[in-house]
Structure 1
Amino acid sequence: MQTDIAIKVSLGGMRRVFEAVDDCLHVEHYSVADPNVSLAKLTRENGNRAITTSLGSGVGTFVVAARDSELRLEQKGRVLFQGLMVEDSLTFVEGPDPIAVELQSDACLYVLTFLREPFRGPCSVVGGRFNIRDVRLRDLIGEICESSPARRGELTKDFSRLAFEHYRSLPRVHPLSAWRLSRVRRYAESRLDRRMSLEELADVAGFSRAHFAATFKAATSMSAHEFLLRMRIQAAARLLIGTDLALVEIALQTGFQNQPHFTTVFKRITAVTPRKWRKSRRSAVMAQSREQMADGVVVIEHLPGQPEGFLPHALH
């Protein structure tokens, strides 16, 4: 893997493309022979507070989630996306204005910016942005990072071409607006410990069940049911690392029917059981705390009070 810069910092500071950095932020800048392309990987591990950074500017930017990442994207003060960006999903934002991203949790994002017009072919972008999900694009971005600078220039064109081809195949449905998503999120966050129907949340958004389901998927690149599952797992993860609650209590507090059901879903999404995840993450946090104390850095160990995300549809 050939990178220009690999940065891991202890406290806040200023670094070129990514302006605000955090004690848990790791940035890799990749060398690309094509001067039209900028590529970087942003990784956050063991984060304990929300942080905001800038993704720089260009005529078009792809943000690819290499894992589930809670974040908020803004451009010129307008919220483009807020919530859980799931693994293998991709967001495209068009326009020269810098994009601000607030990371609410651990994250792994690839940021591919075209400084001039991105290769797209005959394809217009509704609203200058779109969200899609495709494992082929995830695999391709990984191949780009592993390639030589010259090869990266060619592969980024393939990436852009494939992304826009995927976009053209999508139904022409406008995504649910940011303010409606925010309304649904606030409503659902206060009811995370119980079942919620799609009809109930559609009513909160002011749409019919069918229209809400379609616009929600257009906005988040997944079904409402899948999004809710992942949001429940995110909430459970906070309780696993931030409390000593028993697994059965965490399961019930996050809306699962019972502990076995919770364990099954948690393992499907994270590849490990809740018990193993709790043990490994706590060990990592303790090791990080000891290292920072040795360096004279004081860290306040707590988790964000409220997750940023949407919690639609009932868990069946």
Structure 2
Amino acid sequence: MISSSTSYPEPAADVVRKTLVSRIGTENQWRCPVDEDAGARQRGNILVSRWTRNDTQALEVVNPGSAAHHCIAMNLKCTSLTFSHAGRTLVRGRVTAGALQITAPGVACRATFESPGDVLHLFVSQQVLGECFEDTFGRPHAGDIRIDDPRLVRDPALERLGQALAVSQSDDAALGKVFTDSVSLAIVSRVIARHFTVSERQTREASALPAWRLSRAVEFVEAHLAEPIGLADIANSTGLTRMHFASQFRRATGMRPHEYLLRRRIDHAQKLLRETKYNVLDVALSCGFRSQAHFTTVFKRIVGDTPYCWRTKANVDR
């Protein structure tokens, strides 16, 4: 999952004029819009419907998946269920309000509701996905869009949009429809922005530092433990910029370069404290620390004891 604090481009206002959205209907069958939406389905519009049940008895429902529409399902209240996507169980237990899940066309789903449930479904055509992508990123998407990530999404902004859509009431049919159009398209646009922003970021971060570059970085650190080296120095030894080196190093080792450098210096300090008679200040300076106070602070954070106390205990144990 993505952090809700991430900002995404707001959907352009003119997308509302391009695509129409039908009224919210009540589903008689799970994930199946009512028959009166057939015309809207043929025109390639967004279909919005709602699945609600108040029965406390367990109910199993199955849907083979829409042939041409993505289904965006948003849970409107807490419920307990078992949910399977393409034969794989994704949820077994309690699901909070606001949880959102996306199913690509042609993917079968099955659910067993074990408590009352209330779910909003948006059935989104390829035309709408393409328009929202172009309005969000300023360029058309190459080929069809297929969002095939069944994991639950939790996004406060999407939750607020879904709740607003679910409780909207208006005596003016035209005004109500404009509101439904706008909110539904805002939901789709944010889903598109989240999906492709996260995908691109994961692609950029996917590669770890190759073994030969990692070896160069380790050798450089070992050779300069006593010197005031920085991130740029280590990155230069591998032939990468600071930004690329830092992200790939963390991917490969699980820690930031600075943290790795500190730990190697502390390892070296422990060796000097155990095998030599250098005082604590000399050990600190020999390991690249500019002051005894800084050395002591870092040493205690990593080892759990001050250098003096650690040396005393090490000598007793030896």
TM-score, normalised by the number of residues in structure 2: 0.40
- Structure 1 or 2: larger strand share? 1
- Structure 1 or 2: larger helix share? 2
The structure whose RCO (Cα within 8 Å, separation 6+) is larger is: 1
Which has the larger Rg? 2
TM-score, normalised by the number of residues in structure 1: 0.40
